[in-house]
C-alpha cells in the first residue's frame, strides 16, 4: 500500500461546511437519538446518515488505484457538546453552525471525543465521508438505530488537496444516556455514492 504524506491538520478548503456543502442526497434524521433517552432536535441536521448506506443499494468496490485507511483510533476526554464546539480544532464555520442550530438541551449532552488518523490516496478534490456507529461490546449488535451511520461531525466531509494525503481528525460521539457499560464506536469511510466502504476501525469507549 502506498504511503500518504505526513499527517496534517485539514485545511479550510478541505473542511467543507456541512450546511453549505450538503449534498442533495443527504437527508435529515429527525429521530436521531430517539430510544436512548434524548430529545430529537435540530442536531439531526448536523449529525445525519448517508442515504447510500441503505442495504438495498449495491455499491461497487473502490478502485485499486484509490484507497483510504484509518489508524490510531482512540478515546479522548468526555465533554459536553457546548464545550466541544468551542475547541480550537472545530472549524469556525462549523462552530457557528452548531451555535445557531443547536438547542440548549443539545449543547448539554455529554459525549466522547474520538481521535483518528485518515490516509487517502487518489481522492484529490473528491469527497470522502466519515461516519460512526455505536455497538455493544460483546454481541456487536447496534445500540440503537438512531446511533448508526451518523456523520462524524465536525470532520465528516473531507476533500483532500493532494492525491496522497494524511490527516489527523476527530469527532464528538454522544454517550448513550443512562448507560454505564462500555460500548464500541465504529468508524467507516466512504467515497462516492457508487463505492463501497473504503476503511473501518473500532475503539471501545467507557462512559
pLDDT at 14 over 70: no
Residue 160 inside a domain? The answer is yes
Buried-state track 13-50, b at ≥16 Cβ within 10 A, e below 16? ebbbebeeeeeeebeebeebbeebebeebebbbbbbbb
Residue 184 inside a domain? The answer is yes
CA–CA dist 50, 153 (Å, integer): 13
Q: How confident is the model at residue 51 (pLDDT cuts 50, 70, 90)?
A: very low
pTM tops 0.95? no
- DSSP state, 133? E
What mean pLDDT do residues 114-132 have?
92
Residue ranges making up the domain that contains 52 = 7-205
pLDDT of residue 196: 76
Residue 140 inside a domain? The answer is yes
Mean pLDDT of the chain, nearest integer: 77
| Number of domains the chain is built from | 1
Residue 2 inside a domain? The answer is no
What mean pLDDT do residues 30-49 have?
40
pLDDT at 28 over 60: no
Amino acid at each position: 500500500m502506498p504511503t500518504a504524506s505526513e499527517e496534517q491538520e485539514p485545511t479550510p478548503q478541505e473542511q467543507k461546511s456541512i450546511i453549505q456543502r450538503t449534498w442533495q442526497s443527504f437527508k435529515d434524521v429527525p429521530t436521531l437519538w430517539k430510544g436512548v433517552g434524548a430529545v430529537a432536535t435540530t442536531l439531526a441536521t448536523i449529525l445525519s446518515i448517508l442515504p447510500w448506506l441503505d442495504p438495498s443499494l449495491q455499491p461497487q468496490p473502490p478502485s485499486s488505484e484509490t484507497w483510504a485507511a484509518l489508524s490510531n483510533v482512540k478515546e479522548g476526554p468526555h465533554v459536553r457538546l457546548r464545550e466541544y464546539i468551542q475547541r480550537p480544532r472545530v472549524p469556525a464555520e462549523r462552530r457557528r453552525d452548531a451555535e445557531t442550530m443547536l438547542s440548549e438541551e443539545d449543547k448539554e449532552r455529554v459525549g466522547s471525543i474520538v481521535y483518528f488518523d485518515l490516509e487517502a490516496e487518489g481522492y484529490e478534490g473528491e469527497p470522502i465521508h466519515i461516519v460512526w456507529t455505536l455497538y455493544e461490546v460483546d454481541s456487536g449488535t447496534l445500540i440503537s438505530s438512531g446511533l448508526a451511520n451518523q456523520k462524524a461531525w465536525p470532520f465528516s466531509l473531507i476533500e483532500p488537496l493532494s492525491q496522497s494525503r494524511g490527516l489527523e481528525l476527530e469527532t464528538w460521539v454522544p454517550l448513550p444516556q443512562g448507560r454505564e457499560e462500555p460500548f464500541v464506536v465504529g468508524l467507516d469511510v466512504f467515497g462516492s455514492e457508487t463505492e463501497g466502504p473504503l476503511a473501518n476501525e473500532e475503539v471501545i469507549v467507557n462512559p
